[in-house]
């Protein structure tokens, strides 16, 4: 019985993986085109309700609405209060506050 050489198996694996990465690129293209109406619908909602931020981190107001925050919001609790919400280290200060 003929058995496949190790090198053949390796090149087969690399070819299959490259093909899968190619399929991932194709999937990304198709999915992005398919999601466009949903994104447009969300953009319309943003326009309709005058929204400014993504509802990604809802624990603190300066991470819920980073674009609307002022310099003090992260230290709002008392004068020497340190910024302590976990997402505060993820969502940095707004562009215009830097």
Q: Is 81 in the site for other proteins (CB under 8 A)?
A: no
SS3 for the chain is CCCCCHHHHHHHHHHHHHHHHHHHHHHHHHHHHHHHHHHHHHHHHHHHHCCCCCCCCCCCHHHHCHHHCCCCHHHCCCCCCCCCCHHHHCCCCCHHHC
Q: Minimum CB separation from other proteins for residue 80, in Å?
A: 16
Q: Minimum CB separation from other proteins for residue 45, in Å?
A: 6
Residue selected from 1, 2, 55, 82 as contacting other proteins according to rule CB under 8 A: 55
Q: Which parts of this chain interact with other proteins (CB under 8 A)? A: 5-8, 10-11, 13-14, 17-18, 20-21, 24-25, 27-28, 31-32, 35, 38-61, 63-73, 85-92, 94-96, 98
């Amino acid at each position: 019985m003929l058995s496949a050489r190790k090198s053949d198996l390796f090149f087969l694996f690399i070819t299959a993986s490259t093909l899968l990465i190619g399929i991932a690129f194709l999937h990304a293209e198709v999915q992005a085109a398919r999601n466009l109406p949903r994104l447009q619908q969300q953009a319309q909602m943003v326009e309709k309700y005058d929204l400014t931020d993504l509802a990604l981190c809802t624990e603190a107001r300066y991470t819920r609405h980073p674009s609307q925050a002022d310099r003090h919001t992260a230290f709002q609790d008392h004068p020497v209060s340190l910024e302590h919400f976990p997402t505060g280290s993820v969502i940095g200060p707004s562009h215009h506050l830097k």
